[in-house]
Amino acid sequence: MADLLSLQLTLPSPSVPFTASKHKMPTKSMAASVFGSAATAAAASSTTRFLSSAARATLSFSSRSSSLLSRSSSSSSLKSLGSSPSISHLFLNQGRPSSRVSNRGFSAASNPKCLSSDPEQLKNAREDIKQLLKTTFCHPILVRLGWHDAGTYNKDIEDWPQRGGANGSLRFDVELGHGANAGLVNALKLIEPIKKKYSNVTYADLFQLASATAIEEAGGPKIPMKYGRVDVVGPEQCPEEGRLPDAGPPSPAAHLRDVFYRMGLNDKEIVALSGAHTLGRSRPERSGWGKPETKYTKDGPGAPGGQSWTAQWLKFDNSYFKDIKERTDQELLVLPTDAVLFGDPSFKVYAEKYVEDQEAFFKDYAEAHAKLSNLGAKFDPPEGIVIDDASSTPA
């Protein structure tokens, strides 16, 4: 078995460089927005995966080339998800062969414990995500999926995965069931076929790949991403509920700082990242925030309804900052945590800058997004995997 495994692990490699390198919502409906409206388990499981890889290696050896809804409806869909054998299998099946890549001195072949993604599969998965975006216009929810997986990170906890962050834990029902994640089961359903097709891409990477690709395809900046995130293996490794921000806390500025500073992010990054609300909508039946529909959302695209922050809510630009500053269009949403970006003196410096200077927003957003996507992640190899051209510099 060991020989077969090592043969599988030393298959020819694609030429890809390795370089060094969640929202707790109010429950009450606010139809008119307020302002406009365990390490041990992992080790054991690694062994299981290792054996499973070996078993697959045996099977594929000869070819050498193989390698969602309202809060209430969300919970019902969670139930159906859990009861669906195929989906349960998909979400729980962590077994996958190790990466078979060597380049620039790093050889996954020499690292049989490599548990992360295959670069070629990452690239192909990205193309499939682009197609998905073109047909379903799901950019916003994919961005929210990536953010909610990463945003549970606690910089004061050293151990992985207890520290939370971008580790794929959001695929488990227990975490999907957190109030802040209402509706995200739909995002999982959308990317499920891609995960199935590219089993050598981890969930943690797929979530972040989908989010960054959605930003870029919506007209946003190129995000200097790296991949290689290792997945948690069981629901017991999910973070506890309550690590993501609340949209209507008593002191929005203090709350945002509590939550984002815990992630190791600063005021500039809070403001830049909030700019992601240039995309998407809020739905009262999910988060409790926003109108059921507006003139901008009643016809979709995608599932109609909800209230958007911007008129063109599938286009990534700096209109979010312009619109929440002006607050003249009652059809557009401004959450308390959005409004405070112009109310708090430190946040305001950045928010005003982004109103005037879209290029500055894009630059700061790209850096902050890449940083967010790496929070809490365990990379294998440690320096990560770059799937873009040599010119892009991962954070």
Which residues have a catalytic role annotated? 148
With b for 16 or more beta-carbon neighbours within 10 A and e for fewer, the 319-349 pattern comes to: bbbebbbeeeeeebbbbbbbbbbbebeebbe
User: Which pair of structure tokens corresponds to residue 147?
Assistant: 């953010």
Q: Which of 144, 171, 291, 371 binds ligand HEM (CB under 6 A)?
A: 144
221 touching ligand HEM, by CB under 6 A:
no
Backbone angles phi, psi at 57, to 5 degrees: -60, -40
| Nearest residue to the partner ligand HEM, using Cβ | 280
Distances (CA, A) of 231 to 69, 158, 366: 26, 17, 24
Give min distance, CB of 341 to ligand HEM, in A. Answer: 9
376 binds ligand HEM (CB under 6 A): no
Total of chain residues touching ligand HEM, rule CB under 6 A: 25
Nearest to ligand HEM of 30, 230 (CB atom): 30
| CB closer to ligand HEM, 228 vs 290 | 290
The CA distance from 352 to 344, in Å, is 11
The 3-class SS string of 152-189 reads CCCCCCCCCCCCCCCCCHHHCHHHHCCHHHCCCHHHHH
Of the pair 239, 280, the CB lying nearest ligand HEM is at 280
Site for ligand HEM in 113-132 (CB under 6 A): none
Among 119, 183, 239, 305, binds ligand HEM (CB under 6 A): 183
Closest Cα to residue 94, out of 262, 232, 187? Answer: 232
The 20-59 site mask, x for binding ligand HEM (CB under 6 A), equals ---x-x----------------------------------
Q: Which of residues 257-286 bind ligand HEM (CB under 6 A)?
A: 273-274, 276-277, 279-283, 286
Residue 220 binding ligand HEM, by CB under 6 A? no
Nearer to ligand HEM, 98 or 282 (CB): 282
* Residue 324 to residue 132: CA distance in whole angstroms: 30
Taking the complex as a whole, the smallest distance from the CB of residue 58 to ligand HEM amounts, in Å, to: 43
Nearest-10 crossing angle of helices 345-356, 336-343:
90
Start-to-end C-alpha separation, the chain: 39
**Quick one: 277 or 378, whose CB is closer to ligand HEM?**
277
User: Smallest gap, in angstroms, from Cβ of residue 56 to ligand HEM?
Assistant: 36
Select 243 or 286, whichever has its Cβ closest to ligand HEM: 286
Smallest distance, Å, CB 224 to ligand HEM? 15
| Helix boundaries (H) for the chain | 2-9, 39-60, 71-83, 85-92, 119-136, 139-150, 173-176, 185-197, 203-217, 252-262, 267-274, 319-326, 336-343, 345-356, 358-374
Smallest separation, CB 280 to ligand HEM (Å): 3
Distance of alpha carbon 339 from its chain centroid, rounded?
24
For residue 213, the minimal CB distance to ligand HEM (Å) is 13
- C-alpha dist (Å) from residue 286 to 31, 72, 150, 184, 292: 12, 8, 20, 10, 10
Q: At closest approach, how far in Å is the CB of 134 from ligand HEM? A: 17
Q: For residues 395 and 393, what is the distance between their CA atoms, to the nearest angstrom?
A: 7
Residue 211 Cβ, how far from ligand HEM at the closest point, in Å? 8
Of 109 and 218, CB closest to ligand HEM: 218
* List 91, 106, 147, 362, residue binding ligand HEM (CB under 6 A): 147
Spatial separation of the C-alpha atoms in residues 157 and 301, rounded to whole Å: 41
Beta strands 106-107; 307-308: pairing state: unpaired
By CB under 6 A, what part of segment 300-339 binds ligand HEM? 335, 337
**Nearest to ligand HEM of 97, 302 (CB atom):** 302
What letter does residue 236 receive in the DSSP assignment? G
Interface characters, 232-261, with ligand HEM (x: CB under 6 A): -------------x-x--------x-----
- Alpha carbons 117 and 140: distance in angstroms, whole number: 24
Q: Which residue has the tokens 């298959």?
A: 11
Options 2-10, 62-70, 96-104, 136-144: segment touching ligand HEM (CB under 6 A): 136-144
Contact positions vs ligand HEM (CB under 6 A): 23, 25, 140-141, 143-144, 147, 183, 245, 247, 256, 273-274, 276-277, 279-283, 286-287, 289, 335, 337
